[in-house]
A and B are shown apart, each in its own frame.
Chain A
């Protein structure tokens, strides 16, 4: 089986869909964060795949650069997100997002 772009895209789409599903359906904030991380991972996979399979190979590793950058930001984001989850938990005594509706209009 030859690794083609389609396969990467299918995997990445599946990964994204799983992540999205997690983010939309889980009630626990940390699982939502995990879902978001999965969607980011799907995007990173796309970057790498498009870079690898592009017809004109760019001399610099542009795709990899994006991915590294994204991973760094995702780490930061996860840190901030987890910290917020802890803060929210301390304040509301729950991390169930269905109950965290203080920001409604």
Chain B
């Protein structure tokens, strides 16, 4: 079992091929079986992973194209493991959200493989290959299986992310011509002393920043997101927000921060300004949305903003105490995981409402508590988790992020707190118009949660509670990595 990670990447691809060739009657079941296999492998990876040790583990290294410095190197550290686990959780969750055609299932599986690859690759060429490999299925899924306005949304999504990718690729070519390597670890070592000099470094920095900022997305590069998330089928929205957006944050942690420590210190306040804008404007805009999916989409921008707030607060400002750095990093990691689970759950619930009513407009619902109390109850849990209620998973991550960033960027943090408030406003307003009041016309016939829906919701909600009450098991996966990264940050 030496090639555990490679197997993990291959399983979904095999699944996709099997679906394509085999033409099974119920593609979703087959996809779920392959997901189960991936999940099992991810757990095995977790079990093999030595949580006490820092640095990369379970490395597989093969020559690939030596002439351009491309190597097949995969390995995991705590962060990669966390994201692999998240991917393994979100995909089965997304598959169970709705019926999907064979093609959509195949594409989702390809995307899953690409995500595993992105989160484990340790060489830029390989990483970029996987990074782009996830883009194409996402485009097709929106374009072919999307709802209203799908062509516009799909093309916008593709162009946005693709332009970002091109900028990043050019930047990395610049680095390669200067330094002659694509290996993340070597580049990080070089980065400590300053990777590039002169004006070139700013172009390169901006290229990488742009590529990742589009993916996360950061204000004002976010306008593709509401359209894409709104149009995509429920399961695809779940995957997009649960895992795909994490590639951007992951890239920031893995690439930008180690490679450009000095540049971030200079550009930090500007980046933080953008991040705080994401945090404040996104929930304000979410408040206005009538379409539930759009609302959740905007809140996603806000939640990922917290991740970047923590990350850039500790990297941009003067060296801080270890506790602040470790708090912010731990918070960021945890928030990545939490947001993946919670936002996926929210989209799932919106999908359930859509299946019952055929509508996502908030005004079409009312008084649901009277006919579907269980659905409302469990959905409220997800909403409260998302607005950061203590006892659920969202709170701990956000607390640690704010704790870490307050030390170095108190003003930004104080403004960001407004984002917390407006997230709450948005959700409470949504709960008021969905769940309470007199029963709306046409809502009377809805059935409450079905058994299969309960099977999906209960484990996910339990996970939220588990992290909220006793998060140690999640922290254990990345504590060593956090400590190491905090030291590297100087």
A and B touch in the complex (CB under 8 A): no
Residues of A at the B interface (CB closer than 8 Å) are none
